[in-house]
Protein backbone atom coordinates (compact mmCIF):
# COMPACT_ATOMS: atom_id res chain seq x y z
CA UNK A 1 0.00 0.00 0.00
CA UNK A 2 1.38 3.34 -0.97
CA UNK A 3 0.89 6.18 1.56
CA UNK A 4 1.35 9.94 1.60
CA UNK A 5 1.80 11.77 4.93
CA UNK A 6 1.01 15.48 5.58
CA UNK A 7 1.42 17.40 8.85
CA UNK A 8 -1.64 19.61 8.80
CA UNK A 9 -1.00 21.58 12.04
CA UNK A 10 1.26 21.81 15.08
CA UNK A 11 -0.09 23.09 18.44
CA UNK A 12 1.69 23.62 21.77
CA UNK A 13 -0.56 24.00 24.83
CA UNK A 14 0.66 25.13 28.31
CA UNK A 15 -1.54 24.25 31.24
CA UNK A 16 -2.78 27.24 33.29
CA UNK A 17 -2.76 25.37 36.57
CA UNK A 18 0.12 22.88 36.32
CA UNK A 19 3.65 23.13 35.09
CA UNK A 20 2.96 20.80 32.14
CA UNK A 21 3.44 21.10 28.40
CA UNK A 22 1.66 19.20 25.60
CA UNK A 23 2.73 19.07 21.93
CA UNK A 24 -0.13 18.28 19.60
CA UNK A 25 0.33 17.37 15.87
CA UNK A 26 -2.45 16.95 13.42
CA UNK A 27 -1.22 14.32 10.87
CA UNK A 28 -3.11 13.22 7.71
CA UNK A 29 -2.41 9.93 5.90
CA UNK A 30 -3.58 8.90 2.43
CA UNK A 31 -3.77 5.15 1.69
CA UNK A 32 -3.83 3.76 -1.90
CA UNK A 33 -5.40 0.33 -2.04
CA UNK A 34 -4.72 -2.46 -4.53
CA UNK A 35 -7.76 -1.39 -6.39
CA UNK A 36 -6.23 2.04 -6.73
CA UNK A 37 -8.78 3.57 -4.32
CA UNK A 38 -7.57 6.50 -2.20
CA UNK A 39 -8.52 6.54 1.47
CA UNK A 40 -7.70 9.57 3.68
CA UNK A 41 -7.10 8.97 7.38
CA UNK A 42 -6.17 11.62 10.03
CA UNK A 43 -4.14 11.04 13.15
CA UNK A 44 -3.71 13.28 16.21
CA UNK A 45 -0.30 12.67 17.78
CA UNK A 46 0.58 14.10 21.18
CA UNK A 47 3.84 14.51 23.09
CA UNK A 48 3.40 15.16 26.80
CA UNK A 49 6.02 16.69 29.07
CA UNK A 50 5.19 16.47 32.77
CA UNK A 51 6.60 18.55 35.59
CA UNK A 52 8.76 15.57 36.50
CA UNK A 53 10.48 15.86 33.11
CA UNK A 54 9.14 12.43 32.16
CA UNK A 55 8.24 11.92 28.49
CA UNK A 56 4.96 10.36 27.44
CA UNK A 57 3.62 9.66 23.89
CA UNK A 58 0.18 8.89 22.64
CA UNK A 59 -1.62 8.72 19.28
CA UNK A 60 -5.22 8.52 18.32
CA UNK A 61 -6.69 7.56 15.01
CA UNK A 62 -9.70 9.62 14.10
CA UNK A 63 -11.75 10.10 11.08
CA UNK A 64 -12.49 13.42 9.43
CA UNK A 65 -15.64 14.24 11.40
CA UNK A 66 -13.98 13.52 14.72
CA UNK A 67 -11.12 15.76 13.66
CA UNK A 68 -13.45 18.71 13.13
CA UNK A 69 -15.09 18.22 16.51
CA UNK A 70 -11.73 17.97 18.19
CA UNK A 71 -10.50 21.12 16.48
CA UNK A 72 -13.62 22.98 17.63
CA UNK A 73 -13.20 21.78 21.18
CA UNK A 74 -9.58 22.79 21.08
CA UNK A 75 -10.53 26.24 19.82
CA UNK A 76 -13.10 26.61 22.58
CA UNK A 77 -10.52 25.59 25.13
CA UNK A 78 -8.13 28.11 23.70
CA UNK A 79 -10.74 30.88 24.01
CA UNK A 80 -11.45 29.88 27.60
CA UNK A 81 -7.75 29.96 28.37
CA UNK A 82 -7.44 33.46 26.87
CA UNK A 83 -10.48 34.62 28.89
CA UNK A 84 -9.01 33.24 32.09
CA UNK A 85 -5.68 34.89 31.35
CA UNK A 86 -7.42 38.21 30.68
CA UNK A 87 -9.39 37.97 33.92
CA UNK A 88 -6.27 37.10 35.87
CA UNK A 89 -4.48 40.06 34.36
CA UNK A 90 -7.40 42.35 35.26
CA UNK A 91 -7.46 40.95 38.80
CA UNK A 92 -3.73 41.51 39.19
CA UNK A 93 -4.12 45.08 37.93
CA UNK A 94 -7.02 45.71 40.36
CA UNK A 95 -5.03 44.25 43.24
CA UNK A 96 -2.04 46.40 42.36
CA UNK A 97 -4.27 49.50 42.31
CA UNK A 98 -5.86 48.55 45.63
CA UNK A 99 -2.49 47.97 47.25
CA UNK A 100 -1.22 51.28 45.88
CA UNK A 101 -4.27 53.09 47.30
CA UNK A 102 -3.80 51.43 50.69
CA UNK A 103 -0.13 52.42 50.74
CA UNK A 104 -1.03 56.02 49.83
CA UNK A 105 -3.79 56.15 52.49
CA UNK A 106 -1.41 54.80 55.11
CA UNK A 107 1.20 57.36 54.16
CA UNK A 108 -1.43 60.13 54.33
CA UNK A 109 -2.69 58.89 57.71
CA UNK A 110 0.87 58.74 58.97
CA UNK A 111 1.42 62.38 57.94
CA UNK A 112 -1.82 63.47 59.65
CA UNK A 113 -0.93 61.52 62.81
CA UNK A 114 2.54 63.05 62.95
CA UNK A 115 1.08 66.56 62.52
CA UNK A 116 -1.52 65.93 65.23
CA UNK A 117 1.13 64.63 67.63
CA UNK A 118 3.54 67.46 66.90
CA UNK A 119 0.86 70.14 67.34
CA UNK A 120 -0.59 68.62 70.52
CA UNK A 121 -0.66 70.82 73.62
CA UNK A 122 0.74 67.94 75.68
CA UNK A 123 4.09 66.25 75.31
CA UNK A 124 3.64 62.86 73.64
CA UNK A 125 6.44 60.40 74.44
CA UNK A 126 6.32 56.79 73.26
CA UNK A 127 8.76 54.16 74.50
CA UNK A 128 9.16 50.47 73.77
CA UNK A 129 9.03 47.69 76.32
CA UNK A 130 12.57 48.48 77.44
CA UNK A 131 11.74 52.18 78.09
CA UNK A 132 13.67 53.29 75.00
CA UNK A 133 12.18 56.40 73.39
CA UNK A 134 10.81 55.88 69.86
CA UNK A 135 8.56 58.96 69.60
CA UNK A 136 9.20 62.50 70.92
CA UNK A 137 6.91 65.32 69.76
CA UNK A 138 7.47 69.07 69.55
CA UNK A 139 5.87 69.81 72.93
CA UNK A 140 8.22 67.29 74.57
CA UNK A 141 11.12 69.26 73.11
CA UNK A 142 9.71 72.48 74.61
CA UNK A 143 8.99 71.02 78.06
CA UNK A 144 12.16 68.99 78.59
CA UNK A 145 14.70 70.80 76.39
CA UNK A 146 15.83 67.72 74.41
CA UNK A 147 15.49 67.73 70.62
CA UNK A 148 13.84 64.76 68.94
CA UNK A 149 17.20 63.53 67.61
CA UNK A 150 18.65 63.73 71.14
CA UNK A 151 15.77 61.80 72.70
CA UNK A 152 15.12 59.01 70.20
CA UNK A 153 16.94 55.83 71.19
CA UNK A 154 17.63 57.01 74.76
CA UNK A 155 16.25 55.49 77.96
CA UNK A 156 13.60 57.47 79.81
CA UNK A 157 15.69 57.09 82.97
CA UNK A 158 18.53 58.95 81.26
CA UNK A 159 16.24 61.74 80.06
CA UNK A 160 13.35 62.80 82.26
CA UNK A 161 13.00 60.47 85.25
CA UNK A 162 14.57 61.80 88.49
CA UNK A 163 17.17 59.46 89.94
CA UNK A 164 15.12 58.89 93.09
CA UNK A 165 12.28 57.51 90.93
CA UNK A 166 14.47 55.51 88.51
CA UNK A 167 14.47 52.28 90.51
CA UNK A 168 10.69 52.37 91.00
CA UNK A 169 10.24 52.97 87.26
CA UNK A 170 12.30 49.91 86.28
CA UNK A 171 10.50 47.75 88.84
CA UNK A 172 7.17 48.93 87.46
CA UNK A 173 8.16 47.97 83.89
CA UNK A 174 9.27 44.51 85.06
CA UNK A 175 6.03 44.10 86.99
CA UNK A 176 3.99 44.91 83.88
CA UNK A 177 5.88 42.45 81.70
CA UNK A 178 5.22 39.77 84.30
CA UNK A 179 1.57 40.55 85.16
CA UNK A 180 0.32 42.87 82.39
CA UNK A 181 -0.76 45.21 85.17
CA UNK A 182 0.58 48.56 86.39
CA UNK A 183 -0.54 50.78 89.29
CA UNK A 184 0.02 54.03 87.35
CA UNK A 185 -1.33 52.96 83.95
CA UNK A 186 -4.51 54.34 82.36
CA UNK A 187 -4.94 57.02 85.00
CA UNK A 188 -3.82 60.60 85.46
CA UNK A 189 -1.18 61.14 88.13
CA UNK A 190 0.95 64.06 89.28
CA UNK A 191 4.68 63.44 89.68
CA UNK A 192 8.04 65.15 89.20
CA UNK A 193 10.23 65.04 86.08
CA UNK A 194 13.62 66.54 85.29
CA UNK A 195 14.53 68.80 82.38
CA UNK A 196 17.72 68.83 80.36
CA UNK A 197 19.10 71.65 82.54
CA UNK A 198 18.57 69.52 85.67
CA UNK A 199 15.63 71.52 87.01
CA UNK A 200 12.78 69.43 88.39
CA UNK A 201 9.24 70.27 87.30
CA UNK A 202 5.77 69.09 88.29
CA UNK A 203 3.96 67.18 85.55
CA UNK A 204 0.57 65.63 84.94
CA UNK A 205 1.18 62.16 83.46
CA UNK A 206 -1.09 59.65 81.70
CA UNK A 207 0.47 56.37 80.50
CA UNK A 208 -1.31 53.79 78.37
CA UNK A 209 0.15 50.49 77.10
CA UNK A 210 -0.19 49.62 73.38
CA UNK A 211 0.17 46.02 72.22
CA UNK A 212 1.33 45.32 68.65
CA UNK A 213 1.58 41.59 68.19
CA UNK A 214 3.91 40.27 70.84
CA UNK A 215 5.47 43.69 71.50
CA UNK A 216 4.27 46.33 73.97
CA UNK A 217 4.77 50.08 73.78
CA UNK A 218 4.03 52.74 76.39
CA UNK A 219 2.53 56.01 75.18
CA UNK A 220 2.76 58.88 77.67
CA UNK A 221 0.87 62.16 77.61
CA UNK A 222 2.65 64.79 79.72
CA UNK A 223 1.70 68.33 80.74
CA UNK A 224 3.88 70.80 82.67
CA UNK A 225 1.82 71.89 85.70
CA UNK A 226 4.60 73.67 87.60
CA UNK A 227 3.11 77.14 87.18
CA UNK A 228 -0.48 76.00 87.71
CA UNK A 229 0.51 74.22 90.94
CA UNK A 230 2.40 77.29 92.15
CA UNK A 231 -0.66 79.43 91.35
CA UNK A 232 -2.95 76.98 93.12
CA UNK A 233 -0.66 77.08 96.15
CA UNK A 234 -0.73 80.89 96.21
CA UNK A 235 -4.52 80.89 95.88
CA UNK A 236 -4.82 78.39 98.69
CA UNK A 237 -2.58 80.53 100.89
CA UNK A 238 -4.69 83.58 100.11
CA UNK A 239 -7.85 81.61 100.84
CA UNK A 240 -6.50 80.48 104.20
CA UNK A 241 -5.42 84.06 105.00
CA UNK A 242 -8.85 85.44 104.12
CA UNK A 243 -10.52 82.70 106.11
CA UNK A 244 -8.29 83.44 109.11
CA UNK A 245 -9.15 87.13 108.91
CA UNK A 246 -12.89 86.43 108.68
CA UNK A 247 -12.68 83.97 111.56
CA UNK A 248 -10.88 86.55 113.71
CA UNK A 249 -13.54 89.22 113.24
CA UNK A 250 -16.15 89.58 116.00
CA UNK A 251 -18.86 89.60 113.33
CA UNK A 252 -21.27 86.93 112.13
CA UNK A 253 -20.36 86.25 108.49
CA UNK A 254 -21.83 83.61 106.18
CA UNK A 255 -21.90 82.85 102.46
CA UNK A 256 -24.61 80.88 100.64
CA UNK A 257 -24.67 79.58 97.08
CA UNK A 258 -27.56 79.66 94.60
CA UNK A 259 -29.11 76.60 96.28
CA UNK A 260 -29.27 78.52 99.59
CA UNK A 261 -26.65 76.20 101.07
CA UNK A 262 -23.93 77.51 103.34
CA UNK A 263 -20.48 77.42 101.74
CA UNK A 264 -18.82 79.44 104.52
CA UNK A 265 -19.60 80.37 108.09
CA UNK A 266 -16.97 82.08 110.19
CA UNK A 267 -15.92 81.04 113.68
CA UNK A 268 -17.83 83.84 115.45
CA UNK A 269 -21.11 82.77 113.82
CA UNK A 270 -20.53 79.07 114.54
CA UNK A 271 -19.75 79.78 118.18
CA UNK A 272 -22.86 81.92 118.46
CA UNK A 273 -25.00 79.14 117.01
CA UNK A 274 -23.04 76.52 118.99
CA UNK A 275 -22.55 74.44 115.86
CA UNK A 276 -19.56 72.74 114.26
CA UNK A 277 -18.34 73.66 110.78
CA UNK A 278 -19.23 70.24 109.36
CA UNK A 279 -22.81 70.67 110.62
CA UNK A 280 -23.42 73.93 108.73
CA UNK A 281 -21.41 73.75 105.48
CA UNK A 282 -23.60 72.35 102.70
CA UNK A 283 -26.76 72.77 104.81
CA UNK A 284 -29.71 75.15 104.47
CA UNK A 285 -31.46 77.28 107.08
CA UNK A 286 -34.17 74.60 107.31
CA UNK A 287 -31.48 72.17 108.47
CA UNK A 288 -30.14 74.52 111.15
CA UNK A 289 -32.84 76.83 112.53
CA UNK A 290 -36.38 76.31 113.82
CA UNK A 291 -38.94 76.21 111.03
CA UNK A 292 -40.48 79.66 111.63
CA UNK A 293 -37.10 81.39 111.77
CA UNK A 294 -35.82 79.41 108.79
CA UNK A 295 -38.82 80.39 106.64
CA UNK A 296 -38.33 84.03 107.62
CA UNK A 297 -34.65 83.92 106.66
CA UNK A 298 -35.40 82.16 103.35
CA UNK A 299 -38.03 84.77 102.41
CA UNK A 300 -35.59 87.51 103.28
CA UNK A 301 -32.87 85.87 101.17
CA UNK A 302 -35.25 85.42 98.23
CA UNK A 303 -35.90 89.15 98.15
CA UNK A 304 -32.17 89.86 97.87
CA UNK A 305 -31.72 87.19 95.16
CA UNK A 306 -34.55 88.80 93.17
CA UNK A 307 -33.86 92.52 93.60
CA UNK A 308 -30.06 92.39 94.14
CA UNK A 309 -30.47 95.29 96.58
CA UNK A 310 -28.19 95.82 99.56
CA UNK A 311 -30.15 95.46 102.74
CA UNK A 312 -29.10 96.90 106.12
CA UNK A 313 -31.36 96.33 109.13
CA UNK A 314 -30.99 97.30 112.78
CA UNK A 315 -32.70 94.77 115.03
CA UNK A 316 -33.45 94.74 118.74
CA UNK A 317 -33.83 91.59 120.86
CA UNK A 318 -34.33 90.94 124.55
CA UNK A 319 -31.85 88.44 125.98
CA UNK A 320 -31.88 87.59 129.70
CA UNK A 321 -33.87 90.72 130.46
CA UNK A 322 -31.50 93.06 128.62
CA UNK A 323 -31.82 94.68 125.22
CA UNK A 324 -29.46 93.42 122.54
CA UNK A 325 -29.02 95.43 119.35
CA UNK A 326 -27.80 93.88 116.07
CA UNK A 327 -26.93 95.49 112.77
CA UNK A 328 -27.30 93.00 109.90
CA UNK A 329 -26.84 93.25 106.17
CA UNK A 330 -27.09 91.14 103.03
CA UNK A 331 -25.91 91.62 99.47
CA UNK A 332 -24.98 89.55 96.43
CA UNK A 333 -21.40 88.77 95.50
CA UNK A 334 -20.65 88.11 91.80
CA UNK A 335 -17.68 85.97 90.82
CA UNK A 336 -18.60 86.31 87.13
CA UNK A 337 -20.77 89.23 86.07
CA UNK A 338 -21.45 87.57 82.70
CA UNK A 339 -23.03 84.55 84.36
CA UNK A 340 -25.76 85.12 86.92
CA UNK A 341 -25.44 81.57 88.20
CA UNK A 342 -22.03 82.47 89.68
CA UNK A 343 -23.54 84.44 92.55
CA UNK A 344 -23.32 84.12 96.32
CA UNK A 345 -25.32 85.71 99.11
CA UNK A 346 -23.13 87.35 101.74
CA UNK A 347 -24.76 87.90 105.12
CA UNK A 348 -23.25 89.66 108.10
CA UNK A 349 -24.39 90.90 111.47
CA UNK A 350 -22.70 92.23 114.56
CA UNK A 351 -23.66 93.24 118.07
CA UNK A 352 -23.99 96.99 118.44
CA UNK A 353 -25.39 96.88 121.97
CA UNK A 354 -22.34 98.65 123.42
CA UNK A 355 -22.49 101.26 120.69
CA UNK A 356 -26.19 101.80 121.34
CA UNK A 357 -25.56 102.19 125.06
CA UNK A 358 -22.75 104.60 124.34
CA UNK A 359 -25.07 106.45 122.03
CA UNK A 360 -27.71 106.66 124.77
CA UNK A 361 -25.10 107.95 127.22
CA UNK A 362 -23.94 110.48 124.67
CA UNK A 363 -27.50 111.68 124.19
CA UNK A 364 -27.85 112.02 127.95
CA UNK A 365 -24.52 113.87 128.11
CA UNK A 366 -25.59 116.22 125.36
CA UNK A 367 -28.84 116.87 127.20
CA UNK A 368 -26.89 117.52 130.40
CA UNK A 369 -24.60 119.81 128.48
CA UNK A 370 -27.54 121.75 127.11
CA UNK A 371 -28.98 122.01 130.63
CA UNK A 372 -25.61 123.09 131.95
CA UNK A 373 -25.26 125.75 129.31
CA UNK A 374 -28.76 126.98 130.00
CA UNK A 375 -28.02 127.13 133.71
CA UNK A 376 -24.69 128.81 133.10
CA UNK A 377 -26.31 131.36 130.85
CA UNK A 378 -28.75 132.19 133.59
CA UNK A 379 -25.95 132.18 136.17
CA UNK A 380 -23.84 134.52 134.07
CA UNK A 381 -26.70 136.96 133.58
CA UNK A 382 -27.25 137.25 137.35
CA UNK A 383 -23.82 138.69 138.30
CA UNK A 384 -23.77 140.74 135.13
CA UNK A 385 -27.06 142.37 136.09
CA UNK A 386 -25.62 143.10 139.54
CA UNK A 387 -22.52 144.66 138.09
CA UNK A 388 -24.51 146.75 135.64
CA UNK A 389 -27.00 147.88 138.31
CA UNK A 390 -24.29 148.84 140.82
CA UNK A 391 -22.28 150.61 138.16
CA UNK A 392 -25.30 152.67 137.13
CA UNK A 393 -26.01 153.61 140.75
CA UNK A 394 -22.42 154.74 141.26
CA UNK A 395 -22.59 156.84 138.12
CA UNK A 396 -25.92 158.50 138.93
CA UNK A 397 -25.47 159.11 142.63
CA UNK A 398 -22.45 161.23 143.51
CA UNK A 399 -23.60 162.07 147.05
CA UNK A 400 -23.50 158.56 148.41
CA UNK A 401 -22.31 158.10 151.94
CA UNK A 402 -18.98 156.41 152.39
CA UNK A 403 -20.47 153.31 153.95
CA UNK A 404 -23.16 152.95 151.26
CA UNK A 405 -20.61 153.56 148.55
CA UNK A 406 -18.23 151.02 150.10
CA UNK A 407 -21.02 148.45 150.32
CA UNK A 408 -21.87 148.92 146.63
CA UNK A 409 -18.26 148.55 145.61
CA UNK A 410 -18.05 145.43 147.73
CA UNK A 411 -21.16 144.01 145.97
CA UNK A 412 -19.65 144.90 142.65
CA UNK A 413 -16.50 142.99 143.59
CA UNK A 414 -18.50 139.96 144.70
CA UNK A 415 -20.52 139.89 141.48
CA UNK A 416 -17.38 140.23 139.41
CA UNK A 417 -15.71 137.39 141.25
CA UNK A 418 -18.83 135.25 140.87
CA UNK A 419 -18.85 135.93 137.14
CA UNK A 420 -15.19 135.00 136.98
CA UNK A 421 -15.94 131.77 138.84
CA UNK A 422 -18.65 130.91 136.32
CA UNK A 423 -16.30 131.54 133.44
CA UNK A 424 -13.72 129.34 135.16
CA UNK A 425 -16.37 126.64 135.50
CA UNK A 426 -16.99 126.81 131.76
CA UNK A 427 -13.28 126.46 131.13
CA UNK A 428 -13.18 123.54 133.57
CA UNK A 429 -16.00 121.88 131.58
CA UNK A 430 -13.84 122.13 128.45
CA UNK A 431 -11.00 120.55 130.41
CA UNK A 432 -13.34 117.73 131.40
CA UNK A 433 -14.09 116.99 127.73
CA UNK A 434 -10.38 117.02 126.90
CA UNK A 435 -9.48 114.88 129.93
CA UNK A 436 -7.28 117.55 131.50
CA UNK A 437 -9.53 118.50 134.44
CA UNK A 438 -8.09 118.07 137.92
CA UNK A 439 -9.89 118.60 141.21
CA UNK A 440 -8.18 120.55 143.99
CA UNK A 441 -9.11 120.91 147.65
CA UNK A 442 -9.21 124.49 148.95
CA UNK A 443 -10.43 126.01 152.24
CA UNK A 444 -13.16 128.67 152.08
CA UNK A 445 -15.23 130.84 154.43
CA UNK A 446 -18.75 129.46 154.38
CA UNK A 447 -20.22 132.47 156.23
CA UNK A 448 -18.67 134.85 153.73
CA UNK A 449 -20.00 132.71 150.79
CA UNK A 450 -23.55 132.74 152.15
CA UNK A 451 -23.49 136.52 152.71
CA UNK A 452 -22.38 137.05 149.12
CA UNK A 453 -25.20 134.85 147.86
CA UNK A 454 -27.69 136.85 149.86
CA UNK A 455 -26.36 140.15 148.56
CA UNK A 456 -26.66 138.97 144.94
CA UNK A 457 -30.19 137.83 145.63
CA UNK A 458 -31.11 141.18 147.18
CA UNK A 459 -29.71 143.10 144.23
CA UNK A 460 -31.87 140.99 141.89
CA UNK A 461 -34.89 141.36 144.23
CA UNK A 462 -35.35 137.59 144.33
CA UNK A 463 -37.48 135.88 147.01
CA UNK A 464 -35.77 135.33 150.35
CA UNK A 465 -33.37 132.39 150.46
CA UNK A 466 -33.50 129.86 153.26
CA UNK A 467 -30.47 127.71 154.04
CA UNK A 468 -30.65 124.33 155.67
CA UNK A 469 -27.52 122.58 156.92
CA UNK A 470 -27.32 118.86 157.39
CA UNK A 471 -24.44 117.02 158.93
CA UNK A 472 -23.14 114.11 156.88
Please report, rounded to a whole number, the percentage of residues in the chain having pLDDT higher than 90: 30
Q: What is the pLDDT of residue 65?
A: 54
Q: What is the pLDDT of residue 145?
A: 94
Residue 445, Cβ density class (10 Å: 0-12 exposed, 13-18 middle, ≥19 buried): exposed
d(CA 464, CA 156): 116
Q: What is the pLDDT of residue 17?
A: 37
| Overall average pLDDT of the 449-464 stretch | 65
Q: What is the pLDDT of residue 5?
A: 40
For residue 201, name the pLDDT band (cuts at 50, 70, 90).
very high
Q: What is the pLDDT of residue 404?
A: 73
Q: What is the pLDDT of residue 14?
A: 38
Kindly report the three-state secondary structure assignment for every residue of 359-392: HHHHHHHHHHHHHHHHHHHHHHHHHHHHHHHHHH
Q: What is the pLDDT of residue 85?
A: 79
Whose CA is closest to 200, among 232, 234, 160, 165? 160
Q: What is the pLDDT of residue 470?
A: 63
Q: pLDDT of 136-166, one tens digit each?
A: 999 999 999 999 999 999 999 999 999 999 9
Q: What is the pLDDT of residue 25?
A: 54
Q: What is the pLDDT of residue 240?
A: 92
Q: pLDDT of 23-60, one tens digit each?
A: 555 555 555 545 554 545 555 555 444 445 444 444 44
Residue 339, Cβ density class (10 Å: 0-12 exposed, 13-18 middle, ≥19 buried): exposed
The residue with greater pLDDT, 202 or 441, is 202
pTM over 0.75: no
Amino acid sequence: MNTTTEIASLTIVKSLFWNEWTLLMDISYQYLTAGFACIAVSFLAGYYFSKNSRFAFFTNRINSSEKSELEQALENEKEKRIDVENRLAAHETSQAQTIDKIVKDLAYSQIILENVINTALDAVVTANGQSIVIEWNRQAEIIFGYSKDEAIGKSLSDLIIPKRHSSAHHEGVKHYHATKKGPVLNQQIEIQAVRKDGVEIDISLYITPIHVGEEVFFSSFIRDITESKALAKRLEQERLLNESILNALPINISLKNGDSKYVFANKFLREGLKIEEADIIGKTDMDIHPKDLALELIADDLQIWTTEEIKLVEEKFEVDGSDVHLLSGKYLVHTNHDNKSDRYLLSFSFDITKQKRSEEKLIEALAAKDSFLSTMSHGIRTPLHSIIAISELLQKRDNLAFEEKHEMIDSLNVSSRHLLALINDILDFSKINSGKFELEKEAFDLNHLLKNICKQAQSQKTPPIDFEFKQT
